[in-house]
Each structure stands twice: as C-alpha cells, then as structure tokens.
Amino acid sequence: MPKATPALTNFTGGEASPYFNGRTDQSRYYNSSQICENFLCLALGPAERRGGTRFIAEVKDSTQRGRAINFEFSDEQAYIIEAGNLYFRFYMNKGQILTGGGAIYEIATPYKTADIPLLKWCQSNDVMYVVHPKYGPRKLTRTGHAAWTLTAIDFIDGPYLDENVTTTTMIPSATNGANITITASAVTGINRGLGFQAGDVGRLIRIKNGAAYGYAKITTVDSATQVHADVKTAFAATTAATTWRMGLWSDYAGWPGSDTFHEERLCFGSSTVERPQRIDGSKTGDFENFTPGTTDGDPLAFSLGFDRVAKISWLASMRVLVAGTRGAEFIIQADTASSALTPTNAKARPHTRRRCANIMPVLIDDAAVFLQLLGRKIMKEQYSFETDSYKAEDLTLLAEQATRPGIVEMAYQSEPFSIIWAVRSDGQLAACTHIAEQQVTAWHRHILGGDAFVESVATIPGSGGSDEVWLIVRRTINGQVKRYVEVLEDPLPLGGNQADAFYVDCGLSYSDPNVAVTELTGLDHLEGETVQILTDGAVHPEKQVVGGKVELDYPANTVHVGLQFVSRLKPMPLEAGQAEGTAQGKTKIISKVIVRMLRSLLGWLGRDDVNREPVNQDRDPDAPMDHPMPLLSGDNVVDFPGDYDTTGDMMIVQDQPLPMTVLSLYPRVVTSDE
C-alpha cells in the first residue's frame, strides 16, 4: 500500500459546500475545508482562531430587538448607534456615552421596533440622513459626543410628481402667508383620482400662474378637494391654474426607502405607491434643495425603465450610481463616461438581473456587495473592463451552506482582514475573507459562546488601525432573555503579550500590573453561567458566576472571564497516497500528523470531537512551574487516533481560552488501491 505525506499548506478556500466534496478536479478543493468554525481564513493561508467578544452594555430594553448603526465622523471619532424602540443610544471607544451627570445618553426617535430593520442611511461629515418608507427622512446631527439631534427635513421645493395633465385646477386663497386654503376643482389627477387624503399633511403643492411658480406645504386636509397650507414661495396669483404638481412624498404616498451621496448630490430611492422605481437627486452641493430645473446643477428626477415593477431596494455610489431593485441591478450614468449626471443626460440601464433583497449593501473598493432577493446568495457587482459592463459575481457559489438559512444584515471590516460579516437568520455569523486581487474568497462561520443569537452587526474604525466589529447579541442568562452590545476583539497579534490573549465570549477583563486580585466582580451580565478564565496567560479552572463575581484559586494581575467558544477546522477528505487513479473511496489510514502552528497553545487533533489527541500540550521540563506555558510556534507531531476508513478525515479543535493559528498540516497516510 503506497505511503504519502501530502501538504495542506493553506486554508484560503474557506469552508466549502458539501456539494463540493467530490471536486478533486478543482484546485480550490485542496485549500478548502469541510468545517471552518470560529477560525478566520487569512489571505496568506493560515486559519487563525478569532478573538472573543467583549461585553459593553445591555441594551435599553432586552425584550425588544435592536440594531447597530455605524456613524463615522473620522477615524478618531467613530460611533456605534444602538437603534431601539423609539430611541437611539451611542457608543465610542468600546464604551457607552454618558451625560455629564453619569446617566446613559439617548435621544428620542419615531422608529418602533418593527421599523428598525428597514432603516437605511448615508452620511456626510457629522450629518447622517436616515430614511424609512413609513417616515419622512430625518437628519441626525452630531455636535459633540453627547450632543445629537434627529430632525425631520424640510425639503426645499420638491421633489414632485409630474405636472398635471388633466383639466383639474388648483386655486390658492392667497398668494402668501400661513394657513391659506387651496381648492381643487375635482379629484381627478390627485392621488390616482381619490383626491386629497389625511396622510397628505406635510406634502408639497407647486402651482404655476403665468410664468411663475410658487409652492406650499399642506397643514390640514379639509376634504378630498380642499386643504390648508403654509406658503413657502409666494404664488403669482389666486386664479385657477391647471399647471400644478403634487409632492412626491407624504405619509399617504410613502417616503424614500434608500439614500446615498453621489457626485455631490443627496440621492433618494423612492418607495412611494405611485413611483416605486423613481430616483431623485438634490441640487449639486445643496442636499435638501429639490427645486425643479434643467441646468446641470439642478435636481435629478427619473424612473427606472423595466419590463416589470422593480421597487428600489438600495442605492450605492461607485464610479456610477447603482440601484439595486427587486427585478434587476441598474447602472445610472451620463451619456458619456467623463460627464457628470445632469437633469438632461441621466441614463439608467439594467446590467445584471440577480434581484436584490431589501438590505443595505457593503462597498469594497469599486464593488457593491449585495444580498440576492431570497436572502441566501451574496453577490458582488463590479465593472468589467473586458466587457465594458457590470457583472454580478456569486461569492457564495462554492459555499452555499454558509448563508443557507438566510442573511438579515451585512457589514464590512476592511482592516486587518478584509472580511464581509453577515448575520444569519439562525443567529450565527457567516463571514467571508474576500481579497479579489489575491483570488481569496473564503467563508467561515462563527458561533458565539453560550446560547448566543446574533441579531445585528456593524463596523467602525478602531484604534491601532483595525476596524471594530460590533454586535447585538440575544442570550438567555439566569433564565432571562438578555440583549447585549458586544465587540469582537482581534486575535492576539504577533508580538502581543500572552496575558492579553482574549478568547472568551461576552467577556470582561481586569488588568493592573501592581495589584493582583483573587476575585473578579462586575460579572452580573453572566450571573449563573459557567465561565472560562485566563489568568496572566494561563488557563484557570472554570468557575460559576455567583452574585456577579468569581473567586480565583490564586492571585493574578491580568484576568479575562467569559463564555467558552469552540474553534474547529476540518480539511477536505484526503486525496493522497494512491498508486493509481484517485484516493477517493479507497481504504486509508493516517498514522501521524505534523501540525505546523504559530504562537499557539493547547488544542486537539483527531477524527472528530471525541476521538482526538492533544496538540501543543507538552511543557518544557526546564520551564519554571510557577509560570504559564508559553505560546509555541513550530511543528507538532501528533499520533493520530484513527483507524482505517475511506475519507481520511482530520479535525483540529481549540476549546481553551487561548490563541491558535494553524499554518499547515502534513498527514502521513497509507492508501490501499484494492
């Protein structure tokens, strides 16, 4: 029987679909895995255990689902917003923002729990424009860490529906002033023949007498043909006029459900009843001004032409304006590539027809990564110079299992790993290390410790050049449902102090080089839970949190306490050792495995979680016994606890609160060709 020592040198294929298990004809087979759980796939090849999650705070109301929203004023001033039922709370520097008196700072919002998933936003400096199809757009303004305002936007003179083409006239009772009346001669042309509706309060009306326009905002609706309104720009006369326009948005007609900035314009994708495919862009450099006009800097207003209703799900600004709809992905650009969009040259064309779910995309370089309509495929829309068109690449093609339950949110962490984080409907995190120029698209799944159910994810720039990944996590603690704000910590960096290794979930730390402790308090958020503990870089026996604290068996200066999570890496079935043909389906046995690791300690290797042998657990006999075992780098020869089988499965496991980086595996395998 032939012997072989195949080299599994990298894991850049990530966790592959079970449907891919037989594709030994594909080069990616050899760097993929059957299971990649709580490991990060790095661009250079290793599988590195993720860091733990740090507990920040409990949400305002743990009975209500919330959402994490990113607000980035600068790299030094980045915030996470906890969006909950009728409120926003704010976080920065891995802490919650308090008032000067020490109370939790928050502001009121109109958004109820059921509204939160449909919120979308875009930002310019310290102002964020927030939209929802049920509410008029709001402007969130930051003037200090604990100084935020959320105000409804009073748009200037638009946007509007098309001008009236019926015989219905509008008559204002005065040319200027507050609370004037505007009377229509008929309901024809108003709200599809229904006339004025109660939900039209706040809607604009534009009327032309002679060559001059004026406009007003409706304050009350008296009947289907009469309203009261406040004049914003004076009307030219009080005579009947057939040239008039109704505002595009209102509580009755609906409000925009998506927005973005593009070419110095604030652009909205409409979710109105009458114009679900409509896009409106402000005047150039004047984001709240929609006064109609035809000069180059005047507002844009156009609808996407398509063979069926294609309600806009999102807008994204790249080298062109991209609109994701339920029917297709549209590219909006000028007649020539070098020209800016204007009211007279905007062209919208469907380039791909993958169909989009109603969640915000993430932007990676010059690409928009979006979720397909059914919520299971993640696509990347990007310009192709070869075909002079945009193409949509399926990033989940070889790993459909990673997103199979469905995705509800996405965020992008550009540093240090270039990872797309996606919240699954079952509470797991699906993550994809994606570096196009290196041809790396590697999926990995993350299951948080305890009975965690991740509900939201957002990223902001953090200290030290890394992006912070913030989560809202639902847990059951001491029999009660809790929702916590947590931050995913980076793995221990090369050169980092072993005592700083943070590999527990929902955890907290104590560190003081001058004061050792034998008790860690402040753990009320884990009351009744069994926790893992790392003390000065050494694994401490597990303890149960009682009264919000744990007692240590010995004093320590640096302590990390939190819930256990388990990391698993299982390569593809071995294809090695055969004398002819393939090794697939042939009887084989693995005798030993050389595990090459970097700054790792403890862990297991075997066929599964039960049949396994220790890795990196031999203490140097010359090392002092009163110090923790140091992190080790190099080759570990493990006697493999397997018998003859036809797959040659291996799985490496880390279940201790310590780092693990797997560089490569070299199994010694004997394969029978009989």
User: Does 494 fall in a domain?
Assistant: no
Residue ending a domain, among 563, 587, 603, is 563
- pLDDT, residue 275, reads 85
> Do 602 and 641 belong to one domain?
yes
Number of domains in the chain: 3
**Are 113 and 97 in contact, with CB atoms under 8 Å apart?**
no
Q: Does residue 628 form part of some domain? A: yes
Q: Model confidence over 595-614: pLDDT tens digits? A: 999 999 999 999 988 889 99
Which residues are CB-contacts of 253 (< 8 A; sequence separation ≥ 6)? 191, 199, 200, 203, 247, 272, 273, 274
Domain that holds residue 608: 3-51+567-671
Q: Which two tokens stand for residue 506?
A: 């929902």
What is the spatial distance between Cα 105 and Cα 149, in angstroms, rounded to a whole number? Answer: 12
Q: Is residue 24 part of a domain?
A: yes
3-state secondary structure of 20: helix
What is residue 668's predicted lDDT score, i.e. its pLDDT? 94
CATH number assigned to the domain comprising residue 241:
2.40.10
- Which among 563, 580, 611 is the end of a domain? 563
**Dihedrals phi, psi of 343, to nearest 5 degrees:** -60, -15
Would 592 be classed as within a structural domain?
yes
Cα–Cα distance for residue pair 30/438, rounded to 1 Å: 17
> 158-170 burial string, b = 16+ CB within 10 Å, else e?
bbbbeebeeebbb
Same domain for 586 and 514: no
**Among residues 338, 315, 217, 228, which one has the least CA distance to residue 266?**
315
Quote the CA–CA distance of 141 and 459 in Å, as a whole number. 20
634 and 571 in a common domain: yes
Q: What was the pLDDT predicted at 16?
A: 97
For residue 155, being part of any structural domain is answered with no
Task: Tell me: do 584 and 532 sit in the same domain.
Answer: no
- pLDDT tens column, 292-340: 999 999 999 998 977 777 889 999 999 899 999 998 999 999 988 778 9
Q: Please check whether residue 524 is in contact with residue 656, taking contact to mean a CB–CB distance below 8 angstroms.
A: no
pLDDT of the residue at 622: 63
Cis peptide before 159 (omega within 30 of 0): yes
pLDDT of res. 391: 86
Q: Look at the block and give the residue holding tokens 């609808």.
A: 303
Query: Same structural domain for residues 571 and 559?
Result: no
Residue 37 lies in a domain: yes
Taking CA atoms, 345 is separated from 221, 268, 342, 446, in Å, by: 38, 18, 5, 47
How many Å is the maximal CA-CA distance in the chain?
101
Q: Following DSSP, what letter does each residue of 394-437 receive, concatenated?
A: ETTTT-HHHHTT-EEEEEEE-SSS-EEEEEETTS-EEEEEEEGG
369 and 413 Cβ atoms separated by less than 8 Å: no
Residue 39 pairs in a beta bridge with: 49
List the chain residues with pLDDT less than 70: 1, 387, 619-626, 674
Check whether residue 590 and residue 663 sit in a common domain. Answer: yes
Final residue in a domain of this structure, among 246, 263, 279: 246
Claim to verify: residue 585 and residue 539 sit in the same structural domain = no
Opening angle at CA 489, ends 59 and 633, nearest 5: 160
Q: What is the pLDDT of residue 107?
A: 98
In a domain, 389, yes or no: no
Q: Tell me if residue 533 falls in helix, strand or coil.
A: strand
For 210-328, list the strands marked E by DSSP: 212-223, 226-233, 244-246, 258-262, 265-269, 278-281, 300-303, 312-317, 321-325
So what's the pLDDT on residue 21?
93
Are 576 and 643 members of one domain?
Answer: yes
| Continuous segment of H or E residues that includes residue 363 | strand 362-364
Q: Which long-range contacts (CB under 8 A, 24 or more apart) does 326-332 make?
A: 326/355, 326/356, 326/358, 326/373, 327/353, 327/355, 328/352, 328/353, 328/354, 328/355, 329/353, 329/354, 329/356, 329/370, 329/381, 329/390, 329/392, 330/304, 331/390, 332/279
Question: How far is Cα 7 from Cα 593, in angstroms, rounded to an integer?
Answer: 10
pTM beyond 0.75: the answer is yes
**What contacts 407, CB < 8 A, 6 or more positions away?**
357, 359, 371, 375, 376, 378, 422, 423, 424, 425, 430
Residue 570 near residue 11 (C-beta atoms within 8 A): no
Does residue 10 belong to any structural domain of this protein?
yes
Tell me, yes or no, whether 667 and 577 share the same domain. yes
Peptide bond between residue 416 and the one before it cis (omega within 30 degrees of 0): yes
One domain for residues 651 and 590:
yes
Residue pair 13/442 in contact by the 8 Å Cβ criterion: yes
Q: Which residues of 396-422 are buried (b: 16+ CB within 10 A; e: fewer)?
A: bebbbbbbbeebbbbbbbeebbbbbbb
**Phi–psi pair at 141, nearest 5 degrees:** -115, 130
Among 206, 261, 259, smallest CA distance to 229 is for 206
Helix (H) or strand (E) holding 135: strand 135-144
Is residue 536 domain-shared with residue 603, that is, in the same domain? no
Write down the pLDDT at residue 178: 97
Residues 521 and 576 occupy one common structural domain:
no
